[in-house]
């Protein structure tokens, strides 16, 4: 019951703090992001890594081969932050993700996907509002939530969804 209450509250809170795809008024201020170098190691731990569709297929799930079946390719649980540069709530979540990547180094991986550049991935997950955060446990089905949340809520989700034994 406690887990279901958390998930319901988690989903409600996120839906109240999200940018919808209709809110695409671009702003002039953009956040500095560290893109993964072309030959970079995408399994580096302790920092957030940006993914494109091809990298996603290798590191997370090859939806082109297994469209109807979830087969996780990773060796650690994963958080994927679907974002856009123009989204203010996404900018609020970005430093939290950086902190979590460092704090949970060796336990989880955190990836970011720019929905403006990776439209195919946004379609695969039916992303309509951002930030959208996908929690992928090592075993079991992924869980999606939408909206900006405070760090303690992400920590609780990591503990209760990703690092459950």
Tens of pLDDT, residues 25-49: 333 333 333 444 334 455 567 999 9
Global pTM reads 0.77
* DSSP code for 148: -
Question: What is the tens place of the pLDDT at every residue in 106-151?
Answer: 999 999 999 999 999 999 999 999 999 999 999 999 999 999 999 9
Residue 143: phi and psi, rounded to 5, are -125, 130
Q: Which residues of 50-77 are buried (b: 16+ CB within 10 A; e: fewer)?
A: bbeeebbbebbbebeeeeeeeebebeeb
Q: Are 42 and 49 in contact (CB under 8 A)?
A: yes
Residues labelled catalytic: 87, 90
| CATH 3.40.30.10 matches 2-18+44-162 | yes
Domain regions of the chain by residue span: 2-18+44-162
**What are 119's strand-pairing partners?**
none
Query: CA torsion, points 138, 143, 146, 151, in degrees to nearest 10?
Result: -40
């Amino acid at each position: 019951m406690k887990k279901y209450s958390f998930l319901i509250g988690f989903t409600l809170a996120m839906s109240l703090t999200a940018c919808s795809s209709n809110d695409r008024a671009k702003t002039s201020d953009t956040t500095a992001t560290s893109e993964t170098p072309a030959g970079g190691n995408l399994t580096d731990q302790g920092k957030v890594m940006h993914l494109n569709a091809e990298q996603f297929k290798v590191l997370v799930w090859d939806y082109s081969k297994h469209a109807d079946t979830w087969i996780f390719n990773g060796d650690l649980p994963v958080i994927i932050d679907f974002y856009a540069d123009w989204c203010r709530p996404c900018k609020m979540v970005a430093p939290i993700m950086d902190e979590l990547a460092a704090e949970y180094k060796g336990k989880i991986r955190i990836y970011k996907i720019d929905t403006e550049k990776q439209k195919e991935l946004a379609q695969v997950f039916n992303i309509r509002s951002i930030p959208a955060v996908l929690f992928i446990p090592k075993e079991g089905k992924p869980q999606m939530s939408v909206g900006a949340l405070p760090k303690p809520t992400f920590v609780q989700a990591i503990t209760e969804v990703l690092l459950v034994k």
